[in-house]
Amino acid sequence: MIQNTQPGLTVITVVYNNVQDIERTMLSVLGQSYPAIEYIVVDGQSTDGTLQVIEQYKPKLAKLISEKDKGIYDAMNKGLALASGDYVIFMNSGDEFFDADTVATVFAAADNADIYYGETEMIAGNGESLGQRRHKAPEKFTWRGFKYGMSISHQAIYVRRALAEPYDMQYQLSADIEWIIRAAKKAKKIINVNRYVAKYLVGGMSKKKHRQSLQERFAIMKRYYGLIPTILNHFVIAFNLAWYWLKNKRTND
């Protein structure tokens, strides 16, 4: 339980067999200058040495779970159920806070927001910076803001825990999009902190199963924005993607 006059933040890291990246992510969280952080790690019963790395930092964790799960969003729901902070953020294995003062800077941007968000830097597997995401964080964000794509990365959004319902398990790869839309629909005050707040390691399951990921994203957009608008919006999405690729020879999703 977090006890502090400052807003409490629960950081949740979900990991399975990612021994090469887990320590970097954990050090990013544990190295934050902000004092009111509760850190929960949910491991899917890794067998590659990941759990041994996590165990080294167990005294600094609020909670460690290591057990089989039904997928990434089941694991994330387990972490969410244990959270006691005023806000929650998911910083999964391979991802990082932008720097040691990120959390402190986020909460200094405004008081009592329902959602805080910022910009994300993309990182290649070798640690090289790939620059800003193709989807730049919007100046102002509402629940309709994902109609042209996920303009805020999951690692760059802080949600008031009271608004953070469980992830919808019908989506295996894109439930984070639906989760953010659902929280944003209930939010009264959403703050852009106007700075980089996260580093995102490119790749992951949504890239490996790209077709399924796209199908799920379309279904989510249709659910919230309607079929015809979603079809029309996808022409814009396709054009923007093609134009970005022509200029940069990568997508930076």
pLDDT digits (tens, 9 = 90+) for 154-195: 999 999 999 999 999 999 999 999 999 999 999 999 999 999
Q: How far apart are CA 148 and CA 244, in angstroms?
A: 14
Which residues, 6+ apart, have CB-to-CB distance to 162 below 8 Å? none
**Percent of the chain beyond pLDDT 90?**
73
Instruction: Among 95-99, 145-149, 208-212, name the most confident range.
Output: 95-99
Whole-prediction pTM: 0.89
Tokens of 74: 């089941």
DSSP 35-88: S-EEEEEEE---SSSHHHHHHTTGGG-SEEEE---SSHHHHHHHHHHH--SSEE
Alpha-carbon Rg for the chain in angstroms: 17
The crossing angle, in degrees rounded to 10, of helices 210-225 and 227-248 is 140
Confidence of residue 205 (pLDDT cuts 50, 70, 90): low
Pick from 17, 167, 172, 7: which is nearest to 94 by CA? Answer: 17
Helix spans in 95-171 (H): 102-108
Confidence of residue 247 (pLDDT cuts 50, 70, 90): low
Q: Please, are residues 106 and 182 in contact by the beta-carbon 8 Å criterion? A: no
Confidence of residue 128 (pLDDT cuts 50, 70, 90): confident
Q: How far apart are CA 147 and CA 222, in angstroms?
A: 9
Q: Which pLDDT score, from 0 to 100, does residue 124 have?
A: 80
Task: For residue 247, count CB atoms less than 10 angstroms from its CB and return exposed for 0-12, middle for 13-18, buried for 19 or more.
Answer: exposed
Neighbouring C-beta atoms of residue 6, cutoff 10 Å: 15
Computed over every residue of the chain, the mean pLDDT equals 90
Confidence of residue 242 (pLDDT cuts 50, 70, 90): confident
